[in-house]
Amino acid sequence: MSLATPEASARTGYAINPLDRLSERRDDPAHVAGLMEHPSTRFVVVGRDKPILRLTGAGYEALFTREEAHGLGALRETVLLGRDSERAYFAQLLADEALVVREQPDEGALVDTNQLVVPGRPDLIVHDLRAVAVEGLLAPERIGLLGQAKSVLYWHARHRFCSACGVRSEVSSAGWRRDCPACRAMHFPRTDPVVIMLAVRGDSCLMGRQPRFNKGMYSALAGFLEPGETIEGAVRREIREESAIQVGRVAYHASQPWPFPASIMIGCIAEAVSHEIEIDRAELEDCRWFSRAEVKAMFEGRHPDGLLAPNPIAIAHRLVRDWADGAAPQF
Ligand SMILES: [Zn+2]
Ligand 1 mean position, distance from CA 100 (Å): 34
Ligand 1 mean position, distance from CA 29 (Å): 23
Q: In the predicted model, what is the mean pLDDT of the chain?
A: 94
203-219 average pLDDT score: 96
Q: Does 297 have pLDDT greater than 70?
A: yes
Residue 110 has a pLDDT of 58
What three-state secondary structure class fits 324? helix
Output the CA–CA distances (angstroms, integers) from residue 191 to 175, 185, 188, 327, in the order listed: 15, 19, 10, 28
Q: For 258-277, what is each residue's pLDDT tens digit?
A: 999 999 999 999 999 999 99
Percent of the chain with pLDDT over 90: 89
Ligand 1 mean position, distance from CA 153 (Å): 20
Q: For 150-170, what is each residue's pLDDT tens digit?
A: 999 999 999 999 999 999 999
Residue 71 has a pLDDT of 94
36-56 average pLDDT score: 96
Ligand 1 mean position, distance from CA 168 (Å): 8
Rounded-to-integer distance, Cα 282 and Cα 134, Å? 28
For residue 91, list its beta bridge partners.
44, 79
Ligand 1 mean position, distance from CA 50 (Å): 29
- Confidence band, pLDDT 50/70/90 cuts, at residue 105: low
Q: For 49-58, what is each residue's pLDDT tens digit?
A: 999 999 999 8
Angle between helices 315-324 and 292-299 (to 10 degrees): 130
Residue 74 has a pLDDT of 95
Secondary-structure percent of the chain, ordered helix, strand, coil, rounded to 5: 25, 30, 45
- Confidence band, pLDDT 50/70/90 cuts, at residue 191: very high
The domains of the chain, with CATH numbers, are 8-158 (3.90.79), 192-324 (3.90.79.10)
215-219 average pLDDT score: 97
Residue 187: which residues within 8 A CB-CB, separation 6 or more? 159, 162, 163, 169, 177, 178, 179, 180
For residue 173, count other CB atoms closer than 10 A to its CB.
Answer: 18
Ligand 1 mean position, distance from CA 176 (Å): 17
Ligand 1 mean position, distance from CA 77 (Å): 19
| Chain centroid offset of residue 149 CA | 11
Ligand 1 mean position, distance from CA 311 (Å): 43
Ligand 1 mean position, distance from CA 172 (Å): 14
Ligand 1 mean position, distance from CA 188 (Å): 13
Ligand 1 mean position, distance from CA 148 (Å): 26
Q: Does 1 have pLDDT greater than 60?
A: no
- Confidence band, pLDDT 50/70/90 cuts, at residue 6: confident
Q: For 229-245, what is each residue's pLDDT tens digit?
A: 999 999 999 999 999 99
Question: Does residue 297 or residue 10 have the better pLDDT?
Answer: 297
Detail the DSSP E strand segments found in the chain. 42-47, 50-56, 59-61, 75-83, 88-94, 100-102, 115-117, 124-126, 170-172, 177-179, 186-187, 192-201, 204-209, 221-224, 247-258, 263-272, 286-291
Ligand 1 mean position, distance from CA 48 (Å): 26
Ligand 1 mean position, distance from CA 178 (Å): 10
Ligand 1 mean position, distance from CA 177 (Å): 13
- Confidence band, pLDDT 50/70/90 cuts, at residue 111: low
Is the distance from CB of 329 to CB of 269 less than 8 angstroms? yes
Q: For 314-331, what is each residue's pLDDT tens digit?
A: 999 999 999 999 999 999
Ligand 1 mean position, distance from CA 154 (Å): 20
Ligand 1 mean position, distance from CA 171 (Å): 13
